[in-house]
Each structure stands twice: as structure tokens, then as C-alpha cells.
């Protein structure tokens, strides 16, 4: 007969066993090989955002930009001597925070060399950014390995541009195995961070190529944006969720519901029955629901095209293959 101590030990292991999914990922993957992996990562993120809160948006966005191109394999981190890697593509040229990923990697290599992948570091950092900016935590599935290929054209082909309409967005997400709900929930990441004028200037000055304004935009919002983003001015930036761009909350949905979504892809959420219903349900007073949904959708996105087992490698330095 099993002793109480043995039964307690099994109870501790059971959640880890149940959490393994069909892709070979698991919650608590490093519990034996690098038990401090998640706490070390969280500490670096906490220290970083304490002095550089503006990195929260780019670090969260990095997870999306990695997973949508060749899967969640840290290919977005690789450098190219000829500037032909994913990070060199126009959609990725505004990404920041690579040095924070390196800082986490360096700390983990001291404690458990050659164990934690760069792909898993991006995953953990994305969760920790949300927590440190006011959102809920969730159990991250880990066990990814790093890819060895990174191509500029792959990023151009796979990353949905901010000018996409709702049909294009739905196709893009479904092509990655994500649902319409995942689309509208993950769009909520725009509650933190900034957007560059080049990504939405056409909505202010030349929406259909005839020098017009996007009629779906709130006129007062247009006037505000034009003061910052002039027709031929520099590519400056604005907050995606004005007044709350450093806090993870449901303010983004309130903005979209008032026709104040910054990008066409934000405004597009009002052009589909399911996404519109979610926006309106979360424009205020339903934050806990959004927080829980966001964790679920982030886990779903974290399963895209993962490398596990003997595939890929565990990079020693995140910016280059071994």
C-alpha cells in the first residue's frame, strides 16, 4: 500500500503529467532540469520594466512576431550578416527588447547551461510582461527548441499587416490554427505599447488613394492624430491605448468600440459579428473575463509550429545558431 508521503508526491507530479499536450510541450517542463527558470525570467522582466516601462509593448509583441513566422522557434532573434533575417523585415524593424531576451538567456546559462531554449524565453517573457503591467498570470507550456532558419521574406509573407481587413485577419489566424476568438482576444495586446505613424498615416490623409480620411474613424480622434502625425512629417509614434499604454487592461476595447482603433486591423474587429460582440462585451467592466481569455489564447498561439524532441537546437546565444 502506498504511503501518504508517496501519494502526496504523486499528487505534486500529476498536474505536470496532465499538462503535456500533443506537441510535446508541458507546464513545469524545467521543474527538474532548471527549476529556477521561470523565477529568473520574471526577475529580469520585473527589473527591466521598473526602469524601462516602454519595453512592455515590444516584448509582448515579439512573441506574436516569432510564432506567426515558422512557428514559436525564436527565429525572430537570429541575426543575418546580409540583413536578410526576420528581424530585418519592415514589420519587425520597430521591435525592441532583444537585449532583454539576451539578459535572461545569460542568467539562465549561468544556472543551467544549455537547457532553456530562446523560444521558451520569449514565451515566459511575454507572460511576465503581462503580469508586471497589471494583467493575470497563466501557466506557460514549455519545452520548445530553437529553429536554425530565419528569412526576411517569411516575415513579410506571414505577419498580418496593420492594414488588413477582417476577412484577411481571420484567414491569417485560421491558417495558424487559431480561432476568431483568439484573433479578437490577442488583439487586446494593443492595450500596451505604441504605433508608428507609418502604420496608419494613410487612414488620416489618403485612405482610398484620393486624399481622404478613413470614414470609420472618430473625427475627433482623427484631428488629434493629425497634430502628431503630419502628412509629410517624421515617423513618430502614438499610444495605441491613449492614457493607458503602459497598463494591461481592457481599455483597448473601449477605444475600438468608439471608432478609435489606431490601425485598420483594430477597426476591422467591428466588421465581424463575433469579434464585434467581444469588443462590446469588454469595453468596460468585464476585465477579469478578458484576462482569463488572454492567457488561454496566448497558450494557443504558443503551440504554433513548435520544435520539440530532437528537432532544432538549444541555442547558446539567442542571436545565432550553435
H or E segment to which residue 26 belongs? strand 26-27
- Whether the per-residue pLDDT at 19 is higher than 60: the answer is no
pLDDT at 22 over 80: no
Catalytic: which of 65, 196, 220, 282?
A: 65
What count of residues does the chain have?
322
Please report which helix (H) or strand (E) contains residue 168, including its range.
helix 166-175
| Contact in structure between 167 and 180 (CB atoms under 8 Å) | no
- CATH number, domain 27-159: 1.10.520.10
Query: Residue 210: CB partners within 8 Å, gap ≥ 6?
Result: none
167-221 per-position pLDDT tens digit: 999 999 999 999 999 999 999 999 999 999 999 999 999 999 999 999 999 999 9
Q: Which of 200, 196, 199, 204 is nearest to 237 (CA)?
A: 196
Q: What CATH architecture does domain 166-298 belong to? A: Orthogonal Bundle (1.10)
- Please indicate if the annotation marks 66 as binding a ligand: yes
Residue 99 annotated as part of some ligand binding site? no
List the chain domain ranges. 27-159, 166-298
pLDDT digits (tens, 9 = 90+) for 100-111: 999 999 999 999
Taking residue 287's Cβ as centre, other Cβ atoms within 10 Å add up to 17
pLDDT at 58 over 90: yes
Whole-number pLDDT of residue 244:
87
Is 241 labelled as part of a ligand binding site?
yes
The pLDDT assigned to 197 comes to: 95
Q: Which residues pair with 238 in a beta bridge?
A: 195
Alpha carbons 201 and 213: distance in angstroms, whole number: 10
Give the span between the Cα atoms of 309 and 244, in whole angstroms.
41
Rounded to whole angstroms, the Cα distance separating 280 from 21 reads 33
Tell me, yes or no, if 65 is annotated catalytic. yes
Q: What is the pLDDT of residues 142-173, one digit of tens each?
A: 999 999 999 999 999 999 999 999 999 999 99
This model's pTM is above 0.95: no
More confident position, 10 or 226: 226
Q: Give the span between the Cα atoms of 237 and 225, in whole angstroms.
A: 10
Instruction: Please tell me whether 209 is known to bind a ligand.
Output: no
Amino acid at each position: 500500500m502506498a504511503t501518504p508521503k508517496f501519494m502526496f508526491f504523486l499528487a505534486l507530479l500529476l498536474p505536470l503529467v496532465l499538462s503535456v499536450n500533443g506537441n510535446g510541450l508541458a507546464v513545469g517542463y524545467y521543474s527538474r532540469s532548471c527549476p529556477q527558470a521561470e523565477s529568473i525570467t520574471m526577475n529580469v522582466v520585473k527589473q527591466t520594466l521598473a526602469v524601462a516601462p516602454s519595453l512592455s509593448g515590444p516584448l509582448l509583441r515579439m512573441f506574436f512576431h516569432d510564432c506567426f513566422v515558422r512557428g514559436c522557434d525564436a527565429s525572430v532573434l537570429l541575426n543575418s550578416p546580409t540583413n536578410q533575417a526576420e528581424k530585418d523585415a519592415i514589420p519587425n524593424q520597430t521591435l525592441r527588447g532583444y537585449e532583454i531576451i539576451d539578459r535572461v538567456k545569460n542568467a539562465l546559462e549561468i544556472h543551467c547551461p544549455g537547457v532553456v531554449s530562446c523560444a521558451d524565453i520569449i514565451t515566459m517573457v511575454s507572460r511576465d510582461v503581462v503580469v508586471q503591467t497589471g494583467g493575470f498570470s497563466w501557466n506557460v507550456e514549455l519545452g520548445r527548441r530553437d529553429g536554425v532558419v530565419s528569412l526576411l521574406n517569411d516575415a513579410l509573407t506571414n505577419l498580418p499587416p496593420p492594414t488588413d481587413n477582417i476577412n484577411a485577419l481571420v484567414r491569417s489566424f485560421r491558417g495558424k490554427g487559431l480561432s476568431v476568438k483568439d484573433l479578437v482576444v490577442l488583439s487586446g495586446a494593443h492595450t500596451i505599447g505604441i504605433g508608428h505613424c507609418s502604420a496608419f498615416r494613410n487612414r488620416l490623409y489618403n485612405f482610398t488613394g484620393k486624399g481622404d480620411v478613413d470614414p470609420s474613424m472618430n473625427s475627433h480622434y482623427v484631428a488629434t492624430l493629425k497634430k502628431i502625425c503630419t502628412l509629410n512629417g517624421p515617423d513618430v509614434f502614438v499610444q495605441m491605448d491613449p492614457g493607458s499604454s503602459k497598463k494591461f487592461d481592457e481599455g483597448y476595447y473601449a477605444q475600438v468600440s468608439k471608432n478609435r482603433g489606431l490601425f485598420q486591423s483594430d477597426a476591422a474587429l467591428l466588421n465581424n459579428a463575433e469579434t464585434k460582440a467581444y469588443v462590446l462585451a469588454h469595453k468596460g467592466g468585464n476585465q477579469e473575463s478578458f484576462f482569463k481569455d488572454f492567457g488561454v489564447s496566448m497558450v494557443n498561439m504558443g503551440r504554433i509550429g513548435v520544435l520539440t524532441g530532437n528537432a532544432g537546437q538549444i541555442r547558446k546565444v539567442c542571436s545565432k545558431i550553435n
